[in-house]
Chains A and B, each alone.
Chain A
Amino acid sequence: MELAFYLGGLVAVIATLGVITGTNAVHSLLNLIVSLIAVAIVFFALGAPFAGALEIIVYAGAIMVLFVFVVMILNLGQGAVEQERLWLQARTWILPAILSLVLLGTLLVTLSAGDGGRMISGDMLTAKAVGRTLFGPWLLVVELAAMLLLAGLVTASHVGRLPRDRRDDKKGGN
């Protein structure tokens, strides 16, 4: 279990580095999927199998497929990779990297200064307990999530439509 946790974490960090430094959008997306699956392995190792399954089904399965689909719709081509390489100069990324490192250092120092020593034994917390929480005391939160998804659906279908003239062009052209 410890081995799965540390190896999964290592793979997640390396794949995430590949995501943020990649120049090809599809390669970065595949790296992101690897990172999400590694985080799912971390969840399984920690004893949260329901969350791990959800991570694979919803994140790696649904959201990432949406990303891949949009990237394929846009059909960026070879020029995009050259453009990305031009944008990724050292003077562009050095300052944000330093800022994030400072924030990360602060977080880590704060973590190590806390009253630590709590161990995660890896006991399973199954979907039954989660369901009892969600549909018992947290029912209102579930309804709020449903409303959020409905709002997201309406917004995406409203924002995502093309202007009328362009849509007619496309119909006429084909």
Chain B
Amino acid sequence: MNGIPMEHGLALAAVLFALGLAGLMFRRNMVFVLMSLEVMLNAAGLAFIVAGTAWGQPEGQAMFLLVITLAAAEASVALALLIQLYHRFKTLDTDKASGMRG
């Protein structure tokens, strides 16, 4: 056995992405929803790395850097929204924020 088949790496990324998607759908607490989003972004980055190393090109890692940048920006904005949600509704339940004008 020399080397890892590219499909195994992509399958790992797919499994992580599906787990994140399931968490995103069935959690109601906003902290867990954001964590699932991070898992999904991380899986997308993993797919980029796998493809980049399979072809021996550095573009995969460069794209991963951009995915990390996106995740950092998304996390900061989403956590600010989370703090606002908690201060206005005293809960982290996303369903409480479904109506307009509170």
Contacts and interface: CB of A to CB of B under 8 A. Distances in A.
Contacts of B64: 48, 51, 54
Interface string B10-29: 11101111111111011111
Contacts of A16: 16, 19-20, 39
A77 interface: no
Nearest to B46: A39
Given A67-B31, A133-B62, 12 more contacts: A12-B16, A16-B20, A48-B64, A63-B38, A67-B75, A96-B21, A103-B18, A111-B14, A116-B6, A119-B3, A120-B54, A141-B62
Given A20-B23, A48-B49, A151 B73 contact: yes
B23 A19 contact: yes
B89 interface: no
Contacts, number: 244
A160 B84 contact: yes
B10 to A, nearest CB: 6
A131 B7 CA distance: 27
Interface in A143-174: 145, 148-149, 151-153, 155-157, 159-160, 162-163, 166
A110 B87 CA distance: 45
A104 B50 CA distance: 18
A59 B44 CA distance: 14
